[in-house]
Structure 1
Amino acid sequence: MQPNLLMIEDDTELAEILSNFLKRYNIYVTNYEDPYLGISALNLKKYDLLILDLSLPGMDGLEICKEIRSKSDIPIIISSARSDLEDKIVGLELGADDYLPKPYEPKELYARIMSVLRRYKKSNNPHEETPMALQLKEESHTIFFQGTPLTLTPAEFDVLAHLIKKNNCVVSRAELLGSALSLNEENESRSLDVLISRIRTKLGESSKEPKLIHSIRGIGYRLQA
């Protein structure tokens, strides 16, 4: 299958460079400089993924992300020169699947596209689904890992439970801290990092080779269970 991508990018030179590069990998891109035309294109044709700039004429990219996500589950990669951390967090919370700050190498965009498409395909194809490695049983306040209940502190449970509920989504540090109601009881420095480290240990993984809990630099964490 040859992926067909929609791009909303007003930098026509960049759009052409990216389109030509991705074509080498049989990925075809249709770009719109006008965000309104780009949104309309989604109603006329099925695309496999959207590459979205934030600084666009006439409409902010975050508003576009919000509007598209309200009516479509198309994977979205934000490609933006806006380096404000708040933009990254808001974009991901509005439903973007990834955020790639400019400038970047086209090869990195290709890698991000393939990663997002793999996750999307897996989550939307019931025939390929496998049982989650982690299962949350809220009624018994228990989390099972590969069928075995984990021994967790209250704060560890709160953080891991929240990640499970947001499986495959990037969760900001602030959101995770807010989810851990018992965090203050532990009084640890760099409390969230310490908690994540302890949880990883109990899942048998390390920060250098994570399989389940992935650090998203400058933003937070993503669980892929």
Structure 2
Amino acid sequence: MKILMIEDDQKIIENVDLILKIAWPDICFLASKRADGGIKLFNKEKPDLVIVDICLPDTSGFEVIKQIRSMSSVPVLILSALAEERDVVRGLELGANDYISKPFRQMELIARIRNLTRKSVFPDEDLSIKSQNIRFGLSIRQIYYNESEIQLTRTEGRILHKLLQKKNKVVTYQELSNELWGDALQTAIPSIKVYIKHLREKLGDDSLSYKIIQNIPQVGYMLVDQADR
């Protein structure tokens, strides 16, 4: 596996390099302290995943994400000290796949990377689960809503899978975090909210009523299936 990090703090680069090489001894780790150098490395090395900071010396990490997304669908993980929900939302809506705030936990970083680099279909995922109007296709990233095909990201698909498993029951933020990253992470809630927002948009879930995926304030979400009621 080849990972590129675009980060201007040398200590963080060295720390992440060590963490990744402990988790994956054969990893190829590349790093650039500037956005322009990072894009050059990206084009030359074709990494399997990119870790990018937002506050870079020559341009914003948001601009880096835009450039990467204009030419590739490679997973992008933001690692930034900017922890406001608006920053998380902006990063994910520009095309980043995940967002971790600094300071970060070692095991959280490893879990997020594993989630982003694993295959789309897992042996323990039952793609036969469905609701009255939603069913999976051949992978976790393909669904049919009222028989219209919709493409999801891997993370969106896994969230929807969990909601379908417990349709008409509450799925907590902690359950979703554990499903995605193997741990109940309080820091994951802003990211989960953005993924839910994207899912609702793809399903045409009216923001005035949220008839498909309902909010359970301070707790999580519930996928409503009228066929079971």
Fold shared, TM-score > 0.5 on shorter chain: yes
Question: Which one-letter code corresponds to 2:110 in the other structure?
Answer: Y
**2:28 paired with 1:28:** yes
For each residue in 1:35-74, what CA deviation from the matched residue of structure 2 results, as whole angstroms up to 9, or x when unmatched?
Answer: 1000011111121110010010110001110111110111
Show the counterpart of 1:211.
none
1:79–1:202 distance in 2 versus 1, CA, 3 Å: farther
Alpha-carbon distance in structure 2 between the residues aligned to 1:132 and 1:41? 38
Show the counterpart of 1:176.
200
Question: Which one-letter code corresponds to 1:193 in the other structure?
Answer: I
Instruction: State which drifts further: 177-186 or 27-36.
Output: 177-186
Show the counterpart of 1:218.
none
Instruction: Count residues with an aligned counterpart.
Output: 176
Show the counterpart of 1:94.
94
**2:216 paired with 1:193:** yes
Q: In 1, are the aligned partners of 2:77 and 2:98 still within 8 Å (CA)?
A: yes
Secondary structure of 1:197 counterpart:
strand
**2:15 paired with 1:17:** yes
Q: For structure 2, which runs of at least 5 residues remain unmatched after alignment?
A: 138-144, 157-193
1:90 deviates by 1.3
* Aligned residues: CA RMSD: 4.0
**2:40 paired with 1:40:** yes
Instruction: State which drifts further: 50-59 or 103-112.
Output: 103-112
Question: Which one-letter code corresponds to 2:19 in the other structure?
Answer: F
Q: For structure 1, which runs of at least 5 residues remain unmatched after alignment?
A: 137-141, 148-157, 204-225
**2:133 paired with 1:143:** yes
1:201–1:77 distance in 2 versus 1, CA, 3 Å: farther
Alpha-carbon distance in structure 2 between the residues aligned to 1:185 and 1:7? 38
Alpha-carbon distance in structure 2 between the residues aligned to 1:144 and 1:75? 26
Q: Which runs of 4+ in 1 moved over 6 A?
A: 200-203
Name the % identity: 31
Q: In 2, are the aligned partners of 1:79 and 1:101 still within 8 Å (CA)?
A: yes
1:184–1:161 distance in 2 versus 1, CA, 3 Å: farther
1:172 deviates by 4.9
Question: Which one-letter code corresponds to 1:91 in the other structure?
Answer: G
1:192–1:107 distance in 2 versus 1, CA, 3 Å: closer
Secondary structure of 1:50 counterpart:
strand
1:181 deviates by 3.1
1:86 deviates by 1.1
1:143 deviates by 1.8
1:174 deviates by 8.4
